Amino acid sequence: MSDGARVIVGVSGSLHSLTALHRAAEEARIRQAVLVPVLAWTPVGGERNYRARPCPPLLRAWQDLADARMERALEQAFGGLSVGVPVRPLVVRGEAGAVLAELADRPGDLLVVSTGAQGGLRARVQRLTGRSVTRHCLDRARCGVLVVPPSTLHEDLRALHRGIDLRELVAA
C-alpha cells in the first residue's frame, strides 16, 4: 500500500458513476491506494432554500437517503464482494464538483469522474450554465483527474429503452 495514496471517485448511483467506480477500483488496485467513493448531496431545493426554512428532521432524512444511496451504489457495483483494496466511502453535504475538488487535495491523489449524461435536457443545462461536475473537477482539482467515458453497455441500454431490438445492433 502506497503511503497515503488515494483514488477518489464521484458516486451518484447512475450507470455512468458506477462505470467510474469500477475504473477507480481498478486504478486503486494498480496504485495500491485507498479507494474513496464520494457521494455529495444537497437539501432538496438547494442550500439557499433550506437556510430560509430549516427543518432538522428533514435534513436528517436527506442524509439517511444519501447514506442508503451510497450503500446501494457499492452493492450494485461490487455485489458485496471484496474490492481488493481498502474502501473508505464518504457521504458529504455539498455540491458534487466542489466537494470532489476539495477532497482531492494531495498531489498523489487521483480523482475519477464520469462524463455523465451525454445528451438530454440535463446535459444541455449543465453545458449552458457551466455547472458540469466533470468540468468543475477538471478546472479546480489539485491532482490528476481521470474522466471515464460511458461504457458501451450504456448505448445498448439506451437502445433497449428506445425500443430498438438489440439483435439489430448485433447484426450490424
Which domains are seen in the chain, by residue range? Answer: 6-171 (3.40.50.620)
C-alpha cell at 29: 488496485
Q: Which of 46, 88, 39 is nearest to 63 (CA)?
A: 39
d(CA 78, CA 145): 23
Packing angle of the helix pair 15-31, 152-162 (nearest 10 deg): 170
Name the residue with cell 483514488. Answer: 7
Contact 136, 41 (CB under 8 A): no
C-alpha cell at 168: 439489430
Which residues of the chain are under the pLDDT cut of 50?
Answer: 120-122, 125-126, 129
pLDDT of 150 reads 82
Residue 126 pLDDT:
46
Residue 46 CA to residue 17 CA, distance in Å, equals 22
Q: Report the run of H or E that residue 26 belongs to, with start and end.
A: helix 15-31
Could you tell me whether strands 34-41 and 144-148 are parallel, antiparallel, or unpaired per DSSP bridges? unpaired
**Secondary structure element (H or E) that encloses residue 77, with its range:** helix 56-78
List CB contacts of 112: < 8 A, sequence separation 6 or more: 7, 8, 9, 10, 20, 21, 23, 24, 27, 145, 146, 148
